[in-house]
Structures are given as structure tokens and as C-alpha cells.
Amino acid sequence: MEKGLLKEIKELLTLIESFKDELSKVSSKREGFKAVNKHIDTAISESEEATKKLIEVIGDSMEKLQKAVEIVSSLEGEGKEEAVSLIQSVLTTLMNALTLLEFQDIMAQRLLKVRDFLLDLEKSIVRVALVAGLEETEKEEEKEEIRKKLEELEWKKEVSQSEVDEIMKQFGL
């Protein structure tokens, strides 16, 4: 029974070390999360700025075209109706362009959701790393913690010191 218990302890410690290594790799990518969030924020602000400028240009153009319609409508002669029709067509096209610019708001909302998800994911990873002791404890403290747990197990299950030492050696402790 003691050998089965030791085997399970060894496997558990191997899994824990493997988990800590993998978590450490993920946790070390925190700067990547910050960079991605910065790019998303930049994309949102640049998109909003470009959209505002486009809306201003289109709005200004529509006002000028509306005045042109009024001027052309007051004129007499050939081509008056054709000119009004062309100007109305351009006004319709500009109105459609304004409608298409609504995508920016939808895109910004999507990017904000992605950013929020990444922030939540980063916080979760940090929490798990803290629980695993990767963020707060040093390697020596981790070794001491494992040693203490094994000593407690020794008293509870009467595991020999040589078996504990063997386990510790396997993990480089």
C-alpha cells in the first residue's frame, strides 16, 4: 500500500510541476495581453476619429449639394431637371455612405467585447497563478512548501524518509 501511495504522490507531484510550468508560460505572456489591448484601443479610437471626419465631410458635402439643388431649381432652361436629378443622386449616394458608416459603431462594440474578454482572461490567469503560488513565492519557498507537505504525509502515513528524499530528488529538490 505504501508503494502505491508513493507512486500516486509521485504522479501527483509530476502533474503539479507540469501544471505550474504551463501556467508559468501563460502567466509570462501578461505583457502580450497588454499589447493586444493597446492595439485594440488604438484601433477603436482611430476608427472613431476617421468615422467622425468622414461624417463631417459627407455632411458638409450634402449641405453644399442641397444649396446647389436650390440654385439649379431657381434657374430656367435646358438641363435644369437633369442637373437636379444628378445632384439628388449624389445626395442619395452620400446618405447611403452615412448609413454604411454605422458599421464603425458595431465594430467598436465588438472590439470592446474582445478587449473585455481578454482582460477577464488575463485576470483569471493571474488569479490561478497566484493560487498556484507562481506570482508570489520564490522557488525556494515552493521547495519548502512541498517538503513540509511531504513531511506531514510522512507522519500521517508513516512514509520513510528515504522515500520522501527519493521523491524530492525526482523533482530536483
Cα–chain center distance at 113: 9
End-to-end CA distance of the chain: 25
Per-residue pLDDT reduced to its tens digit, 45-80: 888 888 889 989 999 999 999 999 888 888 888 888
DSSP sequence for 95-132: HHHHHHTTHHHHHHHHHHHHHHHHHHHHHHHHHHHHHH
Give the span between the Cα atoms of 7 and 134, in whole angstroms. 25
Contact between 33 and 124 under an 8 Å Cβ cutoff? The reply is no
Residues of the chain short of pLDDT 70, as ranges, are 1-2, 26-31, 132-173
Question: What pLDDT was estimated at residue 146?
Answer: 62
